[in-house]
Structure formats: C-alpha cells, structure tokens
Structure 1
Amino acid sequence: MLEGKKVLTIVSKDYDDLEFFYPMIRLREEKATVLVAAEKAKTDYVGKYGLTIKSDLSFDDVNISEFDALLIPGGWAPDYLRRIPKVIDFVKYMNKEKRVIGIICHAGWVLASADILEGVNVTSTPGIKDDLTNAKAIWHNIEAIKDGHIISARRPPDLIYYLPLIIEVLCKGQILTL
C-alpha cells in the first residue's frame, strides 16, 4: 500500500493514453495520491488515441518538494515537455533528491534534456536509443529496468513490468539498485 505517498504525473497534448492512465490507476489502487500537472490547471488534455484527462495543477502551481515520485508518460508529449524549463527543473530536483522518476517509451527525452542520464541504466522505445546513449545513458532492450531512483520501461506492453518496480521502490521508501 502506498497510502501517504504523493505522485506527480505530467502531460501535454499527444501523451500516450495507456502509459498515462495505467500507472495512475495502479498507483491509486495502491492508495497513492496521484496529481496531474500540465501547462494549464483544470484544462483537458487529449492523448494520442483520444482519451482526455483534466489537469489538477499548472506547472507553476507545483511544489515539487511535496512529491515522492514523478512519472512521465510517453507518446509525443515528451518532445514538447522537455522544452519547458519548469519540467526540467522538476526532473533535476527529483534526481538531486533521489526521488522516484518513472519514464516510459519516449519519456527518456525529458531526462536527456535535463542532462541527468550519464551512467544510468535505462530502457525506452528503441526509436530513441541513440538520443539516450548520446546523453551518456547505458541503454538496454528489456521490458523495464530500475537504476537507483530512475525506473524506465519500453512501451505499453511493458507496463506490467514497470509498475511493480515503481510500487516496490515507493513501498520500501528506499532506493533499490539495478
């Protein structure tokens, strides 16, 4: 159970619907508080496949120090999110504090832009392998992987491997190594 744990997930248009909703639902089933942040609060954002989510907070309203984890879904949204200075600040803060950062599919782009991947074991959709290795990450073609506080997965079919890693780290309240 994740009662008392607070998770922030971030979106913009064209997020991957499954990569957003599946983690949110699973973490809420475990009793975590999951809030959604985007550029504008109380605004509908549409995923790649047409599902809609209303943001709880704007990026400007987020106090990132209140969160135990930051989740970034894939889709095309990460290409936009990585250009937003506030988002990069969130990633850098969570990394510095060794709090959980979950990324799937194209979300690794955001961490590459935050320049925090040197020597980190990650996976992603193979389409951004070069981007991650150019950011000095160690890329693996496996379903999901955790390296310290950074947990990554390739794509939607790998969510069943990704979420147990996130839940395990949040439950233990400590950082596990690869």
Structure 2
Amino acid sequence: EYSFEEINADDYDAILVPGGWAPDKLRRYPEVLDFVRKMDAAKKPIGQICHAGWVLISANILQGKNVTSTPGIKDDMTNAGATWHDEPVTVDGHIVSSRRPPDLPPYVKAFADKLAE
C-alpha cells in the first residue's frame, strides 16, 4: 500500500480512476491530480467510469476530448471542454471512459485493448 506522495507516474503503465463518490475526495489531493496530469502528458492509458470524470476535470485534461460519464456529471464534463457522448464506452486516444457499472463489459474490454497496445 502506497500513498500518492510515494509513487512515481514513470513507474506505471496506466491508471484506472474509480467511480462512485471516491472521485470527489480524490480530486482534492494535488498529488492525485499531478499523477493524472503526468499520465496524460505521457499518453498512458487513463480509465474513468461513472463520477471518475471529476478527477480528470480537476486535473484539467479534458479540453477537446470525447468522453462519457454518468449523466449526472455531463454538464461538468462539457464545461471542462469535453464533448460528452451517451454511450457505454468512449475511447479518445489514451482516455477510456464509461458511464456506469452496467457498461463494465465493453468498458473493461476497451481498457484492456488500450493496455495491450
């Protein structure tokens, strides 16, 4: 178990940001946002589902991206400069996003495919 202060983005191949209400807490930590920004700059796979988009919003990495999320944060996503799609999974470059748990089968496949690249 490590804290975000103890890890280095260079040591990781991808990040999968969890959904639910955890993202509202995670986005309050500068270390989390810095890690996500470094993964984005390196074009490493970033997975996000449900409310996880809040972390990407706070990391300021969604400008011009195509994404999906739980419909409840659609406005947040578009206000961050993203184009929101109501579909089970959206892949834009290295960012793989999904709406909610029923979309897990296509989301997990898309994220696994991105990791395999």
Q: TM-score range by the shorter chain?
A: over 0.9
Q: CA deviation at 1:109?
A: 0.4
Larger radius of gyration: 1
Aligned to 1:119: 64
**Are residue 102 (structure 1) and residue 44 (structure 2) matched?**
no
User: What is the aligned partner in structure 2 of residue 138 from structure 1?
Assistant: 83
- Write out per-residue CA displacement over residues 39-80 of structure 1, whole angstroms, 9 at most, x where no aligned residue: xxxxxxxxxxxxxxxxx2111111111111011111111011
Q: Which has the higher strand share?
A: 1
Give the aligned partner of residue 61 of structure 1: 6
TM (norm. structure 1) is 0.65
TM-score, L = length of structure 2: 0.98
Runs of at least 4 residues off by over 2 Å: none
Kindly indicate whether the alpha-carbon contact (under 8 Å) linking 2:8 and 2:35 is maintained by their aligned counterparts in 1.
no
Distance 1:121 1:168 in 2: 18
Q: Where do 5+ consecutive residues of structure 1 fail to align? A: 1-55, 173-178
Two-structure CA RMSD over aligned residues (Å): 0.6
The separation in 2 between residues aligned to 1:89 and 1:105, in whole angstroms, is 21
> Residues 98-134 of structure 1: CA distance to partner in whole angstroms, max 9, x if unpaired?
0000000000000001111011000000000000000
1:79 maps to which residue? 24
Q: Which whole-Å CA distance do the structure 1 matches of 2:35 and 2:91 have between them?
A: 19
* Aligned with 1:147 (options 62, 78, 92): 92
Question: Can you give the 5+ residue segments of structure 2 that lack an aligned partner in the other structure?
Answer: none
Give per-residue Cα distances to partners, 1:150-169, cap 9 Å, x unaligned: 00000001010111111111
Alpha-carbon distance between aligned partners in 1 of 2:50 and 2:114, rounded to the nearest angstrom: 20
How many residues are paired up?
117
User: Which residue of structure 2 aligns with residue 167 of structure 1?
Assistant: 112
